Amino acid sequence: MVTAVTSAFTLSGCSAIFGRSEASDIARINVSSPDLREGKPLPRQHSCKGTVGSPALRWSSRPLPDAKSIAIVVDSHTPSEPAVHWVIYNIPATTTELGPGAAESPPEGSGQAKVTSGKTGYQPPCEPGGSYRFSVYTLSGKVTDDEGAPLSEILKQIADRTIARGRLTAVNIE
């Protein structure tokens, strides 16, 4: 499954999810969190050893008149293999933050994809020696979420509609 998702990123143009895009004008989003610090360990309460779930995230960018929605993708690169831990999309474009545990009570109208584990919602990272990326994307449209759409299809739609992006990366788990 992970190999298929990783291949789908590469083949479908979803390299934007991992920071490489062929688009010429991708605006920058500033991503912050009261729970996470760039380059610091992921707090234990947001890992599989904790009970809080997804961390609070905040974001800002220059005004983007074409913004229609926001998507968040949490992925990891670990010694064992890469994984996608959370994909939430169709967040209203006027939203600038999500509180802790947002996967349990997502914004109205948003959707969540089945991730690498096959489950929907935030699937907390478990492997202590990894890099955990919390990426926020501003999209020029909404993701069409046919029931049961594969993760690769959702990620491709996010990549195809990205007009701004930013990332906060935690390294290892406390």
Instruction: Return the number of other C-beta atoms located less than 10 Å from residue 4's C-beta.
Output: 12
Q: How confident is the model at residue 32 (pLDDT cuts 50, 70, 90)?
A: very high
Residue 92: per-residue pLDDT: 97
Q: Residue 126 is encoded by which pair of tokens? A: 């478990």
User: How confident is the model over 142-151, as pLDDT tens digits?
Assistant: 999 777 789 9
Coarse DSSP helix, strand, coil percentages of the chain, rounded to the nearest 5 percent: 15, 35, 50
116 or 22, which is more confident?
116
Partners of residue 112 on adjacent β-strands: 88
Look at strands 27-32 and 162-171 and give their pairing.
parallel
Q: How confident is the model at residue 24 (pLDDT cuts 50, 70, 90)?
A: low
| Number of domains the chain is built from | 1
Q: Which domain holds residue 71?
A: 2-171
Q: What is the mean pLDDT of the chain?
A: 87
User: What phi and psi values does residue 71 have, to the nearest 5 degrees?
Assistant: -130, 145
Q: Residue 103 is encoded by which pair of tokens? A: 């996967």
**Strand (E) or helix (H) holding 58:** strand 57-61
- Whether 115 contacts 87, CB under 8 Å: yes
User: What's the whole-model pTM score?
Assistant: 0.86
Residue 148: per-residue pLDDT: 75
CATH number of residue 159's parent domain: 3.90.280.10
User: How confident is the model over 59-75, as pLDDT tens digits?
Assistant: 999 999 999 999 999 99
Residue 7: per-residue pLDDT: 37
Q: Residue 130 is encoded by which pair of tokens? A: 């990894």
Q: Which candidate, 27, 19, 86, 17, places its Cα nearest to that of 57?
A: 86
Mean pLDDT of 110-126: 95
Does pLDDT of 84 surpass 90?
yes
- Whether 14 contacts 84, CB under 8 Å: no
* Angle at the Cα of 112 from the Cα atoms of 110 and 113, rounded to 5 degrees: 140
